[in-house]
Chain A
Amino acid sequence: MKNSLFMRLMRNPSGAFGTILIMVYLMAAITGSFSCCPYPPDEQHVQDMLQPPSKHYIMGTDEFGRDVFSRILRGATNSLKVGISAVVLASLVGITIGTLAAYIGGNFDNIVMRVMDIFFAFPAILLALAIVAALGPGMRNTILAIAIVYTPIFARVARGPTLSVKSTEFVTAARSIGSRPIYILRKHILPNITAPLIVQISLALSWAILTEAGLSYLGLGAQPPEPSWGSMLSDSRMMLELAPWLAIFPGLAIMLAVLGFNLFGDGLRDVFDPRLRH
């Protein structure tokens, strides 16, 4: 089953290309976590500061003479950690809440969605700032902050289609023959709301990387000298004209990663589609 899913994904052009990009990303992240090559990411070579890309430093160096390529690799590790953990957390909690609320309906739906509204209606920056200020800066709390900001989004995205599917013939039929709710949710509703959710998850992964950039801008997120793509990009903003390579490479890295996640999502959607499976 796993094998056939993978094979079908590889036969899908979007899926294949997305998978390749994600593999590259994962490899970068794994390499980065060992801080092996070519330099330790926080090692300063002051005499080589602000070098454009060259033989020694293929992506140039920053104002401390740190190798941008090594930092991109380590940044992949950190961005992946933050992005994946935050999205997994937010989607698990959010989808559960949203589906249940729509399926059970009535007062439960009302109360749960109103509580979601409270958090949803809350400006993300204030929420993130408060969480990080209360718990202290650092990666774990950044993950938590991003997850809390995105949970209500997943809840709403899951709820809308569930409402729609709930009133279709096959769910009504399943209900009338006395299927258990859990069974209906798993067998009929989840597969039918997968498409919008997968699109949402692939979007959210890229959002998480971008949100992390925004938080780095406020001094939250990965603490220096630990790099993340977001913080590299926001640090480079004032150097755009002085040292464009500081901006181009993290920017490209983010773009390719986001591209990878989205293509992967597109591919998965095609593969998962229940009507294509049967």
Chain B
Amino acid sequence: MQRYLTRRILALIPTLLGVSIVVFVVIHLIPGDTISAMIGTTYKLTEAQAEALRAYFGLDKPLYQQYLHWIWAALHGDFGYSVRSGEPVMSEILKRFPVTFELTILSLLIAVVIGIPIGVISATKKDSFIDIFGRLFALIGLSLPNFWLGTLIILGLSLYFGFMPNSGKYVSFWKDPLQNLKQMIFPAITLGFAFTSSVMRTTRSSMLEVARQDYVRTARGKGLRELTVVARHMLSNALIPVVTIIGIEFGYLLGGAVIVEEVFALPGIGRLLLQGISQRDYAVVQGTVLFIAFAFVIVNLLTDLTYVFIDPRIRYE
């Protein structure tokens, strides 16, 4: 196990290096650069002026030189500065990440607390009212685009309750937990709806799958109480695909839910990345993507480790 862990952690290095190269190539592949993005559309600079600015930011050097320069500094903990704000990229990321992290955790909580129980009940009481209602709920959750749901929630709240979850002034949890939750709960519900739906559906189908296994029949045959059968024998075995889905969605959300962050005006990492892309603020994009990738591979690793704890048959040598 320990050897496996060491190997996995060592394996993160090439992955992250790979990500850093891909992001570098990809962001430079997109036409337009920092300078043309700075210039904007309504009020324009000449090509000559733009060239001068390019030289100033070192954008006239060959790509591999720019990459080596950047990765060398990054290895020393220097991720460069944002052209836009002049702040170090790392401090921007660390300011934004907690927002996204909290949003992700909250929607995960919603998904697990609602999704798994309903999924279990739905499977054990197949075709009951709860089953039909739960599946319907899940289908609606999956079919509403979240920008759409977010817009509807904001419109409804402001029109009928004169309430706006977040009017642009984000307050951190440590400063004022109540105000913070007031701001975060609706975006979390927006994201959590679809999240809950996929968790619920996966739980249900996985439970139905497990219910047909011999050991479950054996357990029932032994005369164990239904609750014990469900909890001990079925649920623990049915959790693998659920954990997979949770891991995927969790990692995905950590990358920032751009549109929900925009709609609810939350200063999360997704917005930082989108702004970085549209401004061609290369240092910001590179730093942010690398950071998201890092968070992501860690979540993946944790997911894989969770398999071992849930299912003793899976062993990593």
Asked whether, in the complex, the Cβ of B277 is within 8 Å of the Cβ of A214, the reply is no
A160: chain B residues within 8 A (beta carbon):
240-241, 244, 307
Interface residues of B in 42-73 (CB under 8 A from A): none
B142 to chain A, nearest CB (A): 5
Asked whether, in the complex, the Cβ of B202 is within 8 Å of the Cβ of A206, the reply is no
Interface residues of B in 273-308 (CB under 8 A from A): 273-274, 277, 285, 289, 292-293, 296-297, 300, 307
Q: A153-B248, A160-B307 are in contact. Are A259 and B29 (CB under 8 A)?
A: no
A241: chain B residues within 8 A (beta carbon):
155
A146 at the interface (CB under 8 A from B): no
Q: A214-B145, A237-B147, A237-B148 are in contact. Are A161 and B240 (CB under 8 A)?
A: yes
Number of interface residues of B (CB under 8 A): 58
Give per-residue flags for B122-153: 1 if the beta carbon is below 8 A from chain A beta carbons, else 0.
Answer: 00000000000000000110111101100110
B7: chain A residues within 8 A (beta carbon):
110
B257 to chain A, nearest CB (A): 10
Of the listed stretches B12-20, B77-85, B172-180, B228-236, chain A binds: B12-20
A240: chain B residues within 8 A (beta carbon):
151-152, 155
B311 at the interface (CB under 8 A from A): yes
B15: chain A residues within 8 A (beta carbon):
114, 117-118, 121
Interface residues of B in 195-226 (CB under 8 A from A): 198, 201-202, 205-206, 209, 212
Which residue of the partner chain B has the closest CB to A237?
B151
A89 at the interface (CB under 8 A from B): no
Which residue of the partner chain B has the closest CB to A118?
B18
Contact of B23 among A126, A156, A199 (CB under 8 A): A126
CA distance A275 to B183 in the complex (A): 49
A129 at the interface (CB under 8 A from B): yes
Asked whether, in the complex, the Cβ of B277 is within 8 Å of the Cβ of A126, the reply is yes
B142: chain A residues within 8 A (beta carbon):
203, 206, 258, 262
CA distance A164 to B304 in the complex (A): 12
Asked whether, in the complex, the Cβ of B258 is within 8 Å of the Cβ of A164, the reply is no
Interface residues of A in 215-237 (CB under 8 A from B): 217, 230, 233-234, 237
Asked whether, in the complex, the Cβ of A123 is within 8 Å of the Cβ of B18, the reply is no
CA distance A251 to B155 in the complex (A): 16
A84: chain B residues within 8 A (beta carbon):
none
B259 at the interface (CB under 8 A from A): yes
Number of interface residues of A (CB under 8 A): 55
CA distance A273 to B212 in the complex (A): 10
Q: A126-B26, A163-B314, A258-B143 are in contact. Are A199 and B292 (CB under 8 A)?
A: no
Asked whether, in the complex, the Cβ of A156 is within 8 Å of the Cβ of B248, the reply is yes
A271 at the interface (CB under 8 A from B): no
Contact of A164 among B11, B152, B256, B313 (CB under 8 A): B313
A214 to chain B, nearest CB (A): 7
B27: chain A residues within 8 A (beta carbon):
126, 130
B75 at the interface (CB under 8 A from A): no
Interface centre among A119, A125, A230, A255 (most CB of B within 10 A): A125
Asked whether, in the complex, the Cβ of B143 is within 8 Å of the Cβ of A130, the reply is no
Closest 6 CB pairs of A and B: A258-B143, A121-B293, A121-B296, A130-B26, A255-B143, A133-B30
11 A-B pairs with CB atoms under 8 Å apart are A118-B22, A118-B293, A122-B22, A123-B292, A125-B274, A126-B289, A130-B27, A167-B315, A255-B140, A259-B139, A273-B212
B interface residues, Cβ below 8 angstroms from A: 7, 11, 14-15, 18-19, 22-23, 26-27, 29-31, 139-140, 142-145, 147-148, 151-152, 155, 198, 201-202, 205-206, 209, 212, 240-241, 244-245, 248, 251-252, 255-256, 258-259, 270, 273-274, 277, 285, 289, 292-293, 296-297, 300, 307, 311, 313-315
Since A117-B300, A206-B143 are in contact, a sample of 4 more A-B pairs with Cβ atoms closer than 8 Å, ordered by chain A residue number, is A110-B11, A123-B289, A134-B29, A196-B244
